[in-house]
């Protein structure tokens, strides 16, 4: 994918106010830990996540997606009447139907000419949606499109704790397969893409590459459980990390070729925030110096599809990203899929 006329007009995010530490989560698991001889502190040690945030119970994904979008529109001053496409790209949704994007569309007061729908692909939904909007802009179908996502990891984490503590036969293997679920967090993000002739920002979406390795679809799967209050997810974290890293290595090489970039041309990267071990292995494999990356996982956890755009936004706001730089977005999601984007600031 190459884009000649697509600009990243604005990005914004929203976060819950209250944080929960890894130690606090493990204190809830103490009955299981005591029986299995596990010590509190292993979650932070293994993941590098000190804390994560959750929305108050009952918060709908659309509510926080709207919060991020309103912040974006306020900061950019872009005329919402010109937005021709809205995509809600989170794993979390308000309900089965209608599309959560419909709720966001109405709350933002977008035009009846603005198409709205949901797009979900685990942690890659947001960047996948960005490419859908970019193609629509590049084709001339629209002049601006908005991608939003509201992720709520609270129900998954609470249900995981309930399931582990409530089962007297919970084993070490059960805890291990639930480990990834305890890294999940909450947040929201919004990104406005515009055609170059209406753009007010120099940021460009230059192009991207998407690749799949669906032979690994069974390594991470989640669904609602009968009689539960939220979903449950089982993950083979080690196998998923290895397979994802191998797919990322192939995708990275193809991204550089597609954009005609050399590795040294990439000034900064933003990576999907899963855990410290994943980040370390990915950067080593791609031969990217750690200082080019901007980790947020230690304080914010894994926020699903929101992790990449939120990390980019925070990195830009604190000055890690500077005008004129080339920035690669490195996304990996269960399924197994990889999508990497090339942007300029």
pLDDT tens, position by position, 154-209: 999 999 999 999 999 999 999 988 888 999 999 999 999 999 999 999 999 999 99
Q: At what angle do helices 276-285 and 237-259 cross, to 10 degrees?
A: 40
Nearest one of 235, 7, 209, 17 to 122, comparing CA atoms: 235
User: pTM of the entire structure?
Assistant: 0.95
**Known active-site residue 339:** no
Q: Decide if 263 contacts 256 (C-beta within 8 A).
A: yes
pLDDT for 229: 66
Query: Burial of 272 by CB count in 10 Å (0-12 exposed, 13-18 middle, 19+ buried)?
Result: buried
**Choice among 26, 44, 63, 123 that is catalytic:** 123
Classify each residue of 107-130 as buried b or exposed e, where b means 16 or more C-beta atoms within 10 Å of its C-beta. Answer: ebebeeebbbbbbbbbbbbbbbbb
pLDDT for 57: 94
Q: Decide if 119 contacts 90 (C-beta within 8 A).
A: no
Range of the domain at 251: 204-344
In angstroms, the CA 79 to CA 318 distance is: 27
Omega prior to 98 cis, within 30 of 0:
yes
Whether 32 is in a domain gets the answer no
The mean pLDDT value for 121-150 works out to 97
Residues 6+ apart with CB under 8 A from 227: none
Whether 219 is in a domain gets the answer yes
The mean pLDDT value for 67-85 works out to 97
Whether 152 is in a domain gets the answer no
pLDDT for 177: 87
Whether 137 is in a domain gets the answer no
In angstroms, the CA 240 to CA 72 distance is: 34
Whether 101 is in a domain gets the answer no
Whether 291 is in a domain gets the answer yes
More confident of the two residues 219 and 298: 298
pLDDT for 238: 82
Whether 338 is in a domain gets the answer yes
In a 13 Å sphere around the CA of 10, the CA atoms on its Cβ side amount to 21
**Choice among 97, 112, 226, 289 that is catalytic:** 97
- The band of 228, judged by pLDDT with boundaries at 50, 70 and 90, is low
The mean pLDDT value for 13-41 works out to 94
Least confident of 58-62, 177-181, 206-210, 211-215: 177-181
pLDDT for 224: 77
Classify each residue of 40-61 as buried b or exposed e, where b means 16 or more C-beta atoms within 10 Å of its C-beta. Answer: beebbebbbbbbbbbbeeebbb
pLDDT for 28: 95
User: In the predicted model, is pLDDT for residue 219 greater than 90?
Assistant: no
What is the percentage of the chain residues whose pLDDT exceeds 70?
99
CATH number of the domain encompassing residue 306 = 3.40.47.10
pLDDT for 218: 85
Q: Decide if 261 contacts 325 (C-beta within 8 A).
A: no
**Known active-site residue 28:** no
Whether 85 is in a domain gets the answer no
pLDDT for 315: 97
Which pair of structure tokens corresponds to residue 131?
């490419």
Provide the domain count of the chain: 1
pLDDT for 80: 96
């Amino acid at each position: 994918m190459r884009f000649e006329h697509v600009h990243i007009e604005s990005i914004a995010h929203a976060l819950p106010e209250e944080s929960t530490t890894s130690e606090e989560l493990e204190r809830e698991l103490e009955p299981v830990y005591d029986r299995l001889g596990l010590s509190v502190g292993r979650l932070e040690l293994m993941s590098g996540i000190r804390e994560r945030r959750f929305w108050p119970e009952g918060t709908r994904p659309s509510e926080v997606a709207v919060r991020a979008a309103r912040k974006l529109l306020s900061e950019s001053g872009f005329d919402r009447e010109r937005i021709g496409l809205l995509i809600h790209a989170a794993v979390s949704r308000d309900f089965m139907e209608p599309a959560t994007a419909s709720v966001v569309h109405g709350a933002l007061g977008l035009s009846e000419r603005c198409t709205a729908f949901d797009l979900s692909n685990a942690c890659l939904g947001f960047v996948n949606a960005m490419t859908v909007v970019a193609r629509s802009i590049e084709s001339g179908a629209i002049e601006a499109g908005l991608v939003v996502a509201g992720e709520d990891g609270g129900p998954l984490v609470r249900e995981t704790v309930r399931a582990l503590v409530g089962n007297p036969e919970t084993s070490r293997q059960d805890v291990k397969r639930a480990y990834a679920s305890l890294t999940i967090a909450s947040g929201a993000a919004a990104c406005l893409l515009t055609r170059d002739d209406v753009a007010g920002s120099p940021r460009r979406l230059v192009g991207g590459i998407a690749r799949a390795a669906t032979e690994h679809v069974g390594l991470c799967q989640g669904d609602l459980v009968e009689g539960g209050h939220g979903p449950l997810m089982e993950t083979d974290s080690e196998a998923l990390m290895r397979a994802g890293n191998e797919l990322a290595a192939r995708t990275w090489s193809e991204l550089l070729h597609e954009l005609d970039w050399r590795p040294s041309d990439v000034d900064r990267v933003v990576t999907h925030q899963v855990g410290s071990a994943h980040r370390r292995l990915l950067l080593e494999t791609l031969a990217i110096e750690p200082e080019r990356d901007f980790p947020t996982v230690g304080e914010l956890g894994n926020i699903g599809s929101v992790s990449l755009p939120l990390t980019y936004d925070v990195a830009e706001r604190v000055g890690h990203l500077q005008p004129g730089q080339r920035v690669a977005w490195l996304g990996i999601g269960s399924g197994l899929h990889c999508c990497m984007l090339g942007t300029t600031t």
